[in-house]
Amino acid sequence: MKLLTIVGARPQFVKAAVVSRALSKINNIEELIVHTGQHHDANMSDVFFEEMEIPKPAFNLGIHGLGHGAMTGQMLIGLEELYKDQKPDRVLVYGDTNSTLAGALTAAKMHIPVAHIEAGLRSFNMKMPEEINRILTDRISDLLFCPTQTAIDNLSKEGYPFAGTKVLLSGDVMQDAALYYAQTSASKSNIIDKLKLKDFVLCTLHRAENTDDLSRLKSIIDTLSEINNTIPVVLPLHPRTRKIVMDAGMKLPFTVIDPVGYFDMIEMLKHCSLVMTDSGGLQKEAFFFGKHCITLRDETEWVELVQGGFNKLAGADYSNILTSFEEMCNKKSDFNVNLYGGGKATDNIVNELLSTF
């Protein structure tokens, strides 16, 4: 049986790594990885396949640097030709990017079954492109692998399961990846020594809701600058965000580095004092490594982290972020709670996929 896995962005490489490794051990499944090209920078793409010891993509569409419409449209064209040629029995998509939607939509129109890993997440903010992508992908997938009970509940409120669909609580493959790669990250990364890091705040910033709104972006950067006076802030900066900051003439008086590979990120998570991010995945990764997180957004899909006190929503307001920083710096929490499947998600997903062939 032939399975095409569609990836295009950093979080998808991480998720696909653990599932693809498990699939490679099954004789009667041929998995081919398709990279849309959405993240084309070597530090955000090629390095992940090398570091994580998974096969290089069988196909790379090389589609990047375009607006949402053009990017998704080009992906639809490229994937349609690829599906016609490869004739997959199933398509597997991850998360909520343009690559996710294009992979699922092309398959659905060609009557190819679609499995969506990380289904059921909702921010309830329709201004987020990711929210649109995940809602549409869920609706046209026949297998919905939900990482949390909250995701199951979200789908239930929307009327799922519909005829021909199956909703499963799989757990989160991101936790599987974190547990697996944390065992070897120290031997594959020297970033802590290289940057001479001790106590520091790890920050990432890339969401369009922050980077495309200069008032929000300035407020966040001003707050990070203030926090940097108390504890060093380290910001691996997304290329798109870097360009916006430079074009706006904003100063970054803290440590700014290029995007890092997955093992570097794990080591930074292990050693940091606090995480501040507008990323969805990093909120969970902070939890996996026992670190509190401040989310620089007005909402989050990972509500169980907020409810458990592991995560604090601060938005982009200067005062809110500073108050959250003071609270989370002094907070003590028990991270030994099973919110994401305890490392069993990959087995659950692969077993279900096998049963559909």
CA distance 310 to 332: 9
User: Between helices 98-109 and 129-139, what is the axis angle to 10°?
Assistant: 30
Tell me the CB-side half-sphere exposure of residue 148, using CA atoms within 13 A.
Answer: 16
Which of 34, 19, 33 has the alpha carbon at shortest distance from 174? 19
Using CA atoms, how far apart are residues 320 and 328, in angstroms rounded to an integer? 12
39 is annotated as an active-site residue:
no
Active-site pick, 35, 39, 116, 206: 206
Report yes or no: 43 and 258 within 8 Å, Cβ to Cβ: yes
**Backbone dihedral region for residue 329 (phi beyond 0: left; psi -120 to 50: alpha; all else: beta):** alpha
Beta-carbon count within 10 A of 266 CB = 25
From first CA to last CA, the distance across the chain in angstroms is 7
- What phi and psi, each to the nearest 5 degrees, are found at residue 115? -110, 130
Contact 119, 95 (CB under 8 A): no
Q: So which residues are the catalytic ones?
A: 206
